[in-house]
Chains A and B, each alone.
Chain A
Amino acid sequence: MRERDAAQQRRRAREFEAFVAGAAGRLLHVSTLLTAEPADANPRAQSLLVAALAGAYARWEFLRGEDPYDRTRQELAGRFARTSWHHRRHRGGPLGSLTPQERLVLVLRLYEGVPEEQTAALLGLPVQRVRAICARAVSHVHARRHAPKAPAREVVTS
C-alpha cells in the first residue's frame, strides 16, 4: 500500500514536472499580462501562477483526461478575478491602463483564444457583456498605441 502510494507520488511528480516545463513560460506571460507588471519584476504574477499550479498538483489524479493547461488557466483566471482589487494599480506592461476585468477578458479572448461562451461562463457574465468589455478594451489599447502621448486613463474599478 505504502509502496504503491510512493510509486504514484513519483509518477505524479514526474508528470507535473513535464507539464510545468512545457507550460510555465506561457502561463507566466499570461499571469504577468494580467497583473500588469513589468516582465523583469513580476512577484505578483509569480505568486498567482504558483497558487494556480499548486491547485493543479493537488488535483492531478482527478483531472481524468482533462487538459491540465486548461484547468490551470481556469484556476489562474478565477484567482485573478477574485483578487482583482489588489491588481487595480498600473505597474507596467502593455495592459497597465486597463481595469483588471478588461485585462482578464482581453487576455483570455485574444491571447489565449478562449471562446466567448467559455469566457462568459468562467467570469459569470452574460456573453454580450464579455463582447462589450472586449471591444472596449481593444479600442482602448488600439487608441493608446496610435497616440502614445495620450495621458493614462484614470483606472476605474467596478
Chain B
Amino acid sequence: MSLQRHKNDEVRLVLEQAARPVVPSDLLVRATERGARQMRRRRALRRVWWVIGTLVVIAFLVWASIVHPWQAPPADFTPPVEGF
C-alpha cells in the first residue's frame, strides 16, 4: 500500500513538474464567442418548440369546437317499430 502511495506521489510530481503551456491571449474571446453562439442556438430552438406546442394546442381547440367529440354520435337508423 505504501509502495503504491510512493509511486502515486512520484507520478503526481511528474505531472506537476511537466512544462506548463502558455495560455493564448485569444482564448477568452474564442470561448465567449462560441458560448454566445451556443446560447443563441439553444434559445432559438426553445422558441421553435414553443411555437410548435402553441400551434398544436390551437389546432386541437379548433378541431374540438367543430367536431364536438364529447357528444354521442346520432343513431344510424331508427329502431324497428312493432305493435303499431
Chain A residues within 8 Å of B, Cβ to Cβ: 13, 16-17, 20-21, 24-25, 28-29, 32-33, 38-40, 42, 45-46, 49-51, 53-58, 93-95, 106-107, 110-111, 135, 137-139, 141-142, 145
Contacts and interface: CB of A to CB of B under 8 A. Distances in A.
Interface string B10-21: 111011101111
Q: Which 8 A-B pairs have the closest CB atoms?
A: A57-B35, A53-B31, A54-B34, A39-B19, A54-B35, A58-B38, A39-B21, A111-B15
B11 A141 contact: yes
A107 B8 CA distance: 11
B16 to A, nearest CB: 7
- Name B's interface SS: helix
Q: Give the interface centre of A20, A25, A138 by most chain B CB atoms within 10 Å.
A: A138
B42 interface: yes
Given A93-B18, A135-B4, A141-B14, 14 more contacts: A13-B32, A24-B27, A29-B21, A39-B19, A39-B20, A49-B27, A51-B34, A54-B33, A54-B35, A54-B37, A56-B35, A57-B35, A138-B8, A145-B10
Interface of B: 4, 7-8, 10-12, 14-16, 18-24, 27-28, 30-39, 42
Contact of A29 (B18, B28, B35, B42): B18
B11 to A, nearest CB: 5
A51 B35 CA distance: 8
Nearest to B6: A142
25 contacts: A13-B32, A16-B28, A16-B32, A16-B35, A20-B27, A24-B27, A28-B21, A33-B15, A33-B18, A39-B19, A50-B27, A50-B34, A53-B27, A54-B31, A54-B38, A55-B38, A56-B35, A57-B32, A58-B38, A94-B14, A94-B15, A107-B15, A110-B15, A137-B11, A142-B10
- Name A's interface SS: helix
Contacts of A137: 11
Contact of B21 (A42, A57, A110, A111): A42
B21 to A, nearest CB: 4
Contacts of B12: 110-111
